[in-house]
Each structure stands twice: as C-alpha cells, then as structure tokens.
Structure 1
C-alpha cells in the first residue's frame, strides 16, 4: 500500500467527477466495521492474558490526579472518554480519585478498587480503563479485585492506532509500539507461567543435556524480540525511501511546512482547505496516522510543501514516539511548523503545552512556529482573546467555513525563508526546465517571451541562481 510520501510533490491529485474522494472512501471503510456489544469479557474463557484481543465494549473510566485542580482532572477524564469512544467503546461511568501518588499495588488503593468493583457490577461494564500507565503488577492486582478486564491509557491509544493505520509503514510502526508495550507485561495465567518445552527440548539432547527447556513465557519473549528486530529492519528500509524524496525536495530548495498539533484539532481539514488534497477527515481522535505531503503556493507564486502529520495527545506513549520517530522527522526537518490548536476546546493551553513537549522530544524545538487557532466559528470569543494574548502572533481561522484562510496563507508566505538572489536572464527555449524551476522554487517578478528565449526577472535560491548565470548577459 502506498503512502502519501510515494507521490512526488509535482503530481496533481485529481478526482474524476462523480467519484468519491480518497478521504471519503477511507471514512466509509472505517465506519463499515463496528464492534458488537454484549460479548464476554474474555477473563473466563481464555488461558493466557497475552492472547486476549482488546475488545472494548461497555467501560468504566478511573483517573488518579496527583497535581493540578479538579477541573484539570475532569478534562483529562473527558479526553479519556473521547479516546474510548474513538476505539468503539460505550462509556458508562467515570470516577476520579485524589491521591498524593498512585498506589503501587492497585493504582487506586484497595478500598477504591473494591468500590470500583461494585460500580462495574452495577453498570454491567466489562472493561475498566485507567487514565495513566499501569505497571504489570498494578494491572494484575486490579483485575483480581474488579473481576473484569483492565487496560490503561497507553493500551487504549495503541488500540486506536492499530485500528486507523492504513499504510504498510503505519502498520509496522504501530505493531512495533504494541510489542514494545507488551514485552514487559507478558505474563502467563495459571499453569502457563511455568509450562516448559519438556524432556530433551529437541532431538539432539542426550546424557547431561536434558533439562527443563524453555518455559512458554520465555519462548514468547524470544519470538516477540525477533519480531521487533524484523520490524525495525523493515522500517529502516522505508525511512531510506522517504529520505531520498526529502533530499530531492531539499536539492530543489522547496520550503517545507509541517502541519502539527493536538489530535482532532483540524489539521487534515486545514490541509484540504489549503490544497484541496481530499485526505480523510473525521471528528475522531487520531483519524490521521499516515502523513500526507501536498504542494501549495504563496500568493506571489512561490511553491512549498505542506505535510499533514499524526496528532499528539497528553502523555503520548513513549513507545509511539519511538516507533513513529521517522514519521515525526517531517516536523523536525521542516522550515516552518503550523501549530494547529482547537480554539473551541475546554483547555487549549494544555494542548499547546503537550504538543510543544513532543516538539522538544523529537528535536523540533528550534523550528519556527506559527500558531493557528482553528475552529474559531465554534469557539468562545473570550477564550479566543485569551489565546491571542498568550500567543500574539497567532492566526485565527476556521477550516470548516474558510474564514481567515487568506490571512493564514499570507502569514505562511511571510514566515518562509527568504529567497537569496535577484536575477535577470534570457533563458533559451530549449532550457524550459530552468524556467519551470524558477516558477516552482522562486518568485517571478516579470516574464516575457522574446525571439531569443524567455526573459525573466525573478528572485530565486542561491543554487538556482548559479545555473542562470550563464544566461544573465544574453
């Protein structure tokens, strides 16, 4: 399966009349498969925890807040609710607990765990989702008390990524992140914990060589490590192909703009509005996992690329950051970041902080940043004014209605790297490739077709100016 990176930036993405856009087709396909409610919790009908599928149906949310205010804790739990619904769950109840630190045994303490067991029994829930990352011990002991399946925020996000990954690279990245998460949590249930290969563990054993052999859990660990090594090799090959395309754009000195921000902030909608890309748009968290690269132009005709990237979230699992590092390099290697913020969100300031933490982690902290306040048509005016005070250079837009898009394009044009050289040249007609590059990489001030060739007055990058020098005196 090809990703958007497989398309050269010069290619025009055209959809024949009457044919649904690619994004619409992807949305239909994603909605075609829904989970069926009423299935068992799987705690009673399997023998090994690691082979349970992550089927989320009727869930109860539990959060522990150790700092901040109750409002912050409530906002975090609301976000967890949206994550659970994106994964296909029905949220029945949500509770929070104030503690100085999570309980090392059951995360929420024995008493609260028993109270949680009563809530799950009363509501008929079959899954508990914790708003945090649980240790293997906490996971096991909490399940022993509440008697239903327990997962944490990290496993939930990984499940959403697994549902939404479409390209071969995206699927490999998600699988690597899932295996990285699973490996330290791998455990047997019942007799499988010490189940062994038995006897000689092979046909070559003999006197002095017979022993217990590998346990089942040791075999699983070995196989997971081997699979992770294979995935890393495959991803390294894919990175090489993307680097070649990126180097080609650098050689042509086409500026790169990355659209980044919190999940569901409207990044894909903004890309569609700016370029007509037709990529998938859905009101759901992590709708976009496979980056799209499209070409756009400034009002004065200068070309640049726009990259739509995977969204970020509070406490983004480090396994995902590592697995998607090659994809996130699109942000770190860009000339400008459009940091899209959902102005209608209840707590946009924390979204800004969470995204900038990831920027720092992937080495994009020094890249110029233009904050884009999206969804202003649905946002509270006072909230927008507060954001403008916090981010004086921000641009207000609505990707849905198109309001403010012209101002955004002008701001992007002003923020792009300046062109280095002014040239005046008469380019022979057999060098039409140079004229094309001037239009693509530079800014044409004047152009005239003469008997000797194309007369150009333009501002161009230094490297292209050198190729035009021989025609400057013509």
Structure 2
C-alpha cells in the first residue's frame, strides 16, 4: 500500500524562512523514503506541547486533514518523546513517526556495508529503547521463585524486552569494534605510505560524490562512487587514490553528509566512520550555493567540532555555482565550482596541491647506470623536470617528496 503522509511542524523561533526550509527538507526526507506528502499542518508556538507536540486545536485540524486525504502516516519535524508518540497514535489512529525515525529508515534502507548496517542498527535500537511501550497483557509479571507460596514478582515483559535490546546493542557494538579496529589498521598502513588524505565533508546533497567523480574523471579513473540528487545518497566512506599528471598522489575520501536536527544516536553510531575525517590532512567543505548556504556551513562546522575535528586546514568549495545568481563570499581558501559542468574542478585540485604538497622539494640527482631501478622509482613517484646522460650516470632534476630525497640521499648532488 502506498504510504501517504501529512507533515507537521512547530515554528518556535518565529523564523519563518528557516522553518519553511526545515519543512521543505522534511518533505524531501519523506520523498527519499518513498512516502508521498499530501499536506502540511504548522503552528507558531514558544514551546512544544508536552502532550501532543502541537496544540489540541491543531490536533483536531490534523484529524480532519487525515480523513480528507486518507493519509496513513503523520510525520513530525522534531524528535517526539515516547508519551507524545503514544498520545498521538491513540488520538489520530494512524502511524506517527518523527524526523529521527525517518532519517533512521533512510539509513537502514541505504546501508550496504557491514559496518554501516551495524551502525544504523545500533542507532535504531538506542532510539527504540526508551520508547518501548507495553500493552496491558505485557505488563503482567512472570512468576519468580519456586512453589506456590514463593511466587515473588518477576520481570515484566517490558523489562525483558528492554534487557534483550540492551544485550543486542552490546553484541552489535562488540562486532562493530572489531571492524573499527580493522579500519584503524588500514589507516595506519596508509600513514606509513605517507600519502596525504583529503576528505570531502558537508551538508547532505551538497554534491560531494559528484565532485569526487569529477576529480576521478580528471585523473582518468573509472572507479566512480554512487551519486544521485537525493538526501543521504552516500552512507559509506569511499576512498580513492588520485594520481595527478605530475605523479603527485593523494587519497580522496567521500563521507556521509550532515543535516539539520541530525539524530545524536546517528552521530554517535557513525563516529568510527567519521574518524576518517579527524585524521585527514585537508578538508574540502562542500557547500551548496543556495539561499541557506551559511546556515548549512555553520551546522557542518558544529558537527565536525563535535566529532573532534580541529586544526585541519579547510578549503570551502561552493558547488552548484551555475544555479545561483546571488553574491558568494570571496576568500583565498574558497573555490566556486559546478561539479556537473566541470567548472572550477581544476582550480580545486590546484588549491588542494598548494595545501598538501608543501613537503616536496626540487633536487639534482646523479644515478649510476647500474641503478636503473632508482630511475624507475623517480619516474613513477616524482615529476622529472630534466634528464641528462653523463659519463658517470643519469643526471635528473626532479620535484619529489622530502622523504624520497632523504631515502636516496647518496644520489643527491644539490637541493635546488
């Protein structure tokens, strides 16, 4: 049966522009869940109603709209308390879900890797735990002790269910920890190889995956990541090695996007995935060049601070600049681009190079003809500026990593 919904929101700060954007985002989340939104009920309040989230008059208006549209779900723009869900379902006689449940459903349907599936399941169980509601028969206690006289009160079914969920969360967390350890080993190996890591971060649907694919096209690589114009198209961290024409290389990682009112269970659950970001050498903060870009930028910065991202250089990439006419801020660490048309991608790669390839130096090497493998190494891992064949060997002027110059110190004639 097609899921038809009414979207409900409360504007608490009398900020109509931000509130309208929040409601529009809620409808986009519903669409990403294949739910058809047939109408909206909104209310200006200083505080959420403790019983129904909205006032009792608005509840009556909502009941009338449900009957008129034959909706079978009501979606609320904020996280509801267990008692509010219970009260609303009894009053409305249909399914009640909040923004958090909607986001969890999207994550559950899109998670592909074992790690992201475990993270989503842990977040879902943590969300469910305080919201377990017992019907009358499930509140009856199981008998404790033996014999008729010693039948003390045992656990209620509710307590049993709660304990089962807690045990499951502990088991899944242990399994996730093993996967996280494996990821740390992989990161350690990458650090050993001394390849700089660049992470794409930003609001959901800002165009991070499209930018990554544009850069892969520039590098002549075909191993594209999934991209689509919808919220949370990316849930897993994808890592690709990009080798530039001058043989300089870096790892580019695409991460899960952020959103307003992102459930804290999810931030907590995805912390291990987001550790990729905390250990990056450079962040590309992708910003959708829309009317709400400043708000989205601040929200992403807030989440990055929460997960421990500090003192990492940032390039602000204002994407979809072909779709905007308004003024865009100017700065040395800003690039204006359209990943779809390819405009600004070269400038972005150039800016990345200025930040992460500052440990390169130019030097003159004299390599004996007997050490051909050393020449092959520099051909693959550095930019050769000139080659001369002399009596004692091959004379190269190269731009290479400082570490490579130190490794082959015996061949270095001059540092230029």
Normalised by the length of structure 2, the TM-score is 0.90
Over 3 Å counting, the alpha-carbon distance change for 1:196 and 1:369 in structure 2 is same
The one-character-per-residue Cα deviations of 1:69-111 (angstroms, maximum 9, x if unpaired) are: 2121111100000000001100001122111111122111222
Partner in structure 2 of residue 59 of structure 1: 5
User: Hey, what's the Cα distance between the residues in 1 that align with 2:175 and 2:378?
Assistant: 35
Partner in structure 2 of residue 353 of structure 1: 298
The one-character-per-residue Cα deviations of 1:317-364 (angstroms, maximum 9, x if unpaired) are: 110111000111111111111111111x34222111111111111111
Deviation at 1:65, TM superposition (A): 1.6
Partner in structure 2 of residue 230 of structure 1: 171
The one-character-per-residue Cα deviations of 1:351-406 (angstroms, maximum 9, x if unpaired) are: 111111111111114211111111122x2212xx2x325x5632111111111211
| Higher strand content, 1 or 2 | 2
The reply to whether residue 467 of structure 1 matches residue 407 of structure 2 is yes
Partner in structure 2 of residue 187 of structure 1: 133
Over 3 Å counting, the alpha-carbon distance change for 1:468 and 1:75 in structure 2 is same
Normalised by the length of structure 1, the TM-score is 0.80
Deviation at 1:431, TM superposition (A): 7.5
Q: How does 1:103-252 map to 2 (within 5 A)?
A: 103-192=49-138, 194-198=139-143, 200=145, 205=146, 210-252=151-193
Stretches of structure 2 that go unaligned for 5 or more consecutive residues are 218-222
Over 3 Å counting, the alpha-carbon distance change for 1:285 and 1:451 in structure 2 is farther
Over 3 Å counting, the alpha-carbon distance change for 1:446 and 1:326 in structure 2 is farther
The reply to whether residue 458 of structure 1 matches residue 398 of structure 2 is yes
User: Hey, what's the Cα distance between the residues in 2 that align with 1:74 and 1:425?
Assistant: 64
User: Hey, what's the Cα distance between the residues in 2 that align with 1:452 and 1:225?
Assistant: 72
The one of 250, 253, 265 aligned to 1:307: 253
Over 3 Å counting, the alpha-carbon distance change for 1:99 and 1:451 in structure 2 is farther
The reply to whether residue 380 of structure 1 matches residue 320 of structure 2 is no
Deviation at 1:430, TM superposition (A): 5.9
Aligned 8 A contact 1:288 1:311 in 2 = yes
Q: CA RMSD for the aligned pairs?
A: 2.5
Partner in structure 2 of residue 8 of structure 1: none
Paired residues, number = 408
User: Hey, what's the Cα distance between the residues in 2 that align with 1:466 and 1:75?
Assistant: 55
Aligned 8 A contact 1:131 1:152 in 2 = yes
Over 3 Å counting, the alpha-carbon distance change for 1:245 and 1:449 in structure 2 is farther
Match of 2:141, SS state, is coil
